[in-house]
Amino acid sequence: MRIFMFFVSVICLFFLFWLFKNFPYKYTEYFPETIFDKLLILSIIKVESSFIKDAVSPLGAYGLMQVMPQTSEWINKKFDKNYNLYVPKDNIQLGIKYLEYLYELNGNLADALIGYNTGPHASKEVKESAGKRYLKKVYTAYYIYKFLYRGD
C-alpha cells in the first residue's frame, strides 16, 4: 500500500508540475488597470495564443491576445492610443481595451468574450457554435487558473 501511495503522490506531483508549466502566470506586469480579473486575462491569452508572443492565426490575428490588425487600428483611433500590435505589452493592452469595449457594448462577460472571438458583427449561427466553444475553453482555463493561483 505504501508503494502504491508513493506512486500516486509522484503522479500527482508530475500533474501539478504540468499544470503550472502549461498555465503560466506571465505578463501580468503588462496588464493595465481593468475591470477584469488577471486570471481571466491569463485564460484568454492561454486560449488565444498559448503564450506564444508572436503567434499568427490563419486569419491574421497577431500576438498573445490574437488581435486583428484592423481591430488594432480601430482601437488606436477610437481611444486615441498608439499601441503597437507587434509589441507584447501593447498587444495585451489592445486586447484588454477591446474586451472592455465589448463588455460595455454587450453588458455581460459571456457575450463580450464571444464577440472577442467571433467579432462583434458575426452571425447568430457563428456566435452560437464557435462562440460557445470558445467560452467553454476560456472558462475551463479560468477555473484551472483559479485552482492554481487562488491567492492572487
pLDDT digits (tens, 9 = 90+) for 95-127: 999 999 999 999 999 999 999 999 877 778 888
What is this structure's pTM? Answer: 0.90
Question: Measured in whole angstroms, how far is the alpha carbon of residue 1 from the centre of its chain?
Answer: 42
Mean pLDDT of 32-37: 94
pLDDT at 12: 73
Residue written as grid cell 464557435: 130
d(CA 71, CA 83): 11
Residues contacting 143, CB < 8 A, separation 6+: none
d(CA 130, CA 139): 14
Q: Residues 88, 63: contact at Cβ < 8 Å? A: yes
d(CA 99, CA 112): 6
CATH numbers and ranges of domains, the chain: 25-148 (1.10.530.10)
Kindly tell me if the per-residue pLDDT of 75 is higher than 90. Answer: yes
Quote the cell numbers at residue 141: 482555463
pLDDT at 124: 80
Task: Output the average pLDDT for the chain.
Answer: 91
pLDDT at 152: 57
